[in-house]
């Protein structure tokens, strides 16, 4: 019972990190949207760093639910294909969501919000599973895992908030959507506690590589092209620094995990 209480307290704390964007709520919408490009640059580094430093290596680790290298590779590619298909369906002129998305103001990219929330929800679900499973081993491991996830989530949630703003959502809507996506981690923890360590292996062996592929697709296919619109030397320098910073933060977290 104590492990369950600590696990749920930890995952709620991690979920609340999604509200980091509240620091911008005092700013006017126009200024926030100008800052969104900076968040997007950092998000590119954070997503790629997360995928290539954490998720993909984890998918190939020996003993991860018996995933063979070929299986892990196909799941990563499958994640990219899933995100590609979802985005194509959102754009399709006869799709059920077409009218909704194209009813927004010109220049908005609401499909980016959907794609990002989809991948982030899966990722948060995995975080919840890992937190729950770690507390089943010991409270010490649970606390250390929670700390690692918190440090992992802060830069990513800033990036996610920037993506939601860039997609056309208001600051308040972006905060609520981000919180809803983050709250999926609670479901992951509940599942992990109910099914013990079996759930961790069964779920993460499939969802980790799928999420990695989705994050690579989101960063490479959607976000990097957005950054190419500003071709000034200043934009090149700033964006390169921020992308590198996102990757560096994800790399530094490996020393804590």
Dihedral of the alpha carbons of 124, 127, 128, 132, in degrees to the nearest 10: 180
Tell me whether residue 28 is in a domain.
no
Count of domains forming the chain? 1
Residue 27 in domain: no
Higher pLDDT, 114 or 32: 114
Within a domain: 225: yes
Whether residue 98 has pLDDT greater than 70? no
- Collapsing DSSP to helix, strand or coil, 232 comes out as coil
Percent of the chain whose pLDDT exceeds 90: 16
Instruction: With cut-offs at 50, 70 and 90, classify the pLDDT of residue 241.
Output: very high
What pTM did the predictor assign?
A: 0.71
Beta strand residue intervals within the chain, DSSP E: none
> Which of 49-58, 163-172, 187-196, 243-252 has the lowest average pLDDT?
163-172
Mean pLDDT of 55-79: 79
Residue 254 phi, psi dihedral angles, 5° rounding: -60, -25
CA 153, 154, 155, 156 torsion: positive or negative?
positive
The rounded distance, in Å, linking the Cα atoms of 143 and 40 is 30
Of the ranges 28-42, 104-118, 174-188, the best mean pLDDT one: 174-188
Query: For the residues 181-186, what does the mean pLDDT come to?
Result: 89
Residue 217 has pLDDT above 60, yes or no: yes
pLDDT at 96 exceeding the cut of 50: no
Residue 29 lies inside a defined structural domain of this protein:
no
Do the domain assignments include residue 30?
Answer: no
Nearest alpha carbon to residue 211 among 91, 103, 128, 99? 128
pLDDT of residue 188: 87
pLDDT over threshold 80, residue 116: no
Average pLDDT in the 178-204 region?
A: 79
The answer as to whether 25 is a domain residue is no
Quote the domain boundaries for residue 178: 2-17+42-253
């Amino acid at each position: 019972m104590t492990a369950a209480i600590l696990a749920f307290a930890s995952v709620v704390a991690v979920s609340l990190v999604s509200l980091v964007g509240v620091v911008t709520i005092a700013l006017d919408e126009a200024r926030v949207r100008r800052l969104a490009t900076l968040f997007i640059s950092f998000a590119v580094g954070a997503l790629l760093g997360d995928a290539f430093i954490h998720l993909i290596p984890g998918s190939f680790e020996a003993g991860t639910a018996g995933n063979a290298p070929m299986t892990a590779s196909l799941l990563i590619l499958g994640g990219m294909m899933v995100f590609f298909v979802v985005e194509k369906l959102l754009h399709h002129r006869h799709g059920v969501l077409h009218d909704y998305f194209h009813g927004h103001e010109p220049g908005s990219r609401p499909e980016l919000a959907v794609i990002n929330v989809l991948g982030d929800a899966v990722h948060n679900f995995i975080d919840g599973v890992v937190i729950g499973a770690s507390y089943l081993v010991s409270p010490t491991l649970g606390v250390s895992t929670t700390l690692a996830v918190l440090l992992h989530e802060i830069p990513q949630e800033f990036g996610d908030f920037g993506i939601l703003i860039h997609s056309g959502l208001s600051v308040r809507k972006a905060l609520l959507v981000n919180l809803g996506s983050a709250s999926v981690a609670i479901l992951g923890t509940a599942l992990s506690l109910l099914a013990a360590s079996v759930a961790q292996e069964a779920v993460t062996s499939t969802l980790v590589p799928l999420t990695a592929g989705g994050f690579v697709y989101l960063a490479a296919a959607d976000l990097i092209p957005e950054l190419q619109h500003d071709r000034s030397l200043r934009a090149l320098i700033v964006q390169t620094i921020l992308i590198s910073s996102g990757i560096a933060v994800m790399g530094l977290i490996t020393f804590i995990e």
